Amino acid sequence: MSQIAIIAGAGHLPAAVAAQLDSPLVCALEGFAPEALVPDLVFRVERLVPFLRALSDRGVERVIFAGAVSRPRLDPSLFDMGTAQMVPRLLAAMQGGDDATLRAVIDIFEQAGFEVVGVPDVAPDLFLAPGVYGVTLSGSEGGETVSAVTVSEADQADAARAAAIVAALGAVDVGQGAVVAQGLCLAVETLPGTDQMLDFVAKTARRPNPAGARGVFYKSAKPGQDRRIDLPTIGLETLTRAHAAGLSGIAFPASDVIVLDMKNVLQQAEKLGLFLWAQP
Q: Identify the pLDDT of residue 74.
A: 84
Claim to verify: residue 50 and residue 132 sit in the same structural domain: no
Claim to verify: residue 94 and residue 212 sit in the same structural domain: no
Q: What is the mean pLDDT of residues 107-116?
A: 97
Claim to verify: residue 23 and residue 98 sit in the same structural domain: yes
Claim to verify: residue 19 and residue 74 sit in the same structural domain: yes
Residue 249, strand partner residues: 216, 275
Q: Structural domain tally of the chain?
A: 2
Claim to verify: residue 62 and residue 143 sit in the same structural domain: no
- Return d(Cα 67, Cα 8) in angstroms, integer: 5
Q: What is the pLDDT of residues 258-280, one digit of tens each?
A: 999 999 999 999 999 999 999 99
Claim to verify: residue 89 and residue 48 sit in the same structural domain: yes
Residue-range definition of the domain harbouring residue 241? 127-279
The enclosing domain of 181 has a CATH number of 3.40.140.80
Claim to verify: residue 259 and residue 171 sit in the same structural domain: yes
Claim to verify: residue 95 and residue 133 sit in the same structural domain: no
Q: Identify the pLDDT of residue 141.
A: 45
Q: Identify the pLDDT of residue 101.
A: 86
Residue 113 Rama label (left phi>0; alpha psi -120 to 50; beta): left
* Lowest-confidence segment of 21-35, 129-143, 148-162, 220-234 by average pLDDT: 129-143
Claim to verify: residue 88 and residue 155 sit in the same structural domain: no
Percent of the chain with pLDDT over 70: 94
Q: What is the pLDDT of residues 131-189, one digit of tens each?
A: 999 865 444 444 443 345 679 999 999 999 999 999 999 999 898 999 999 999 999 99
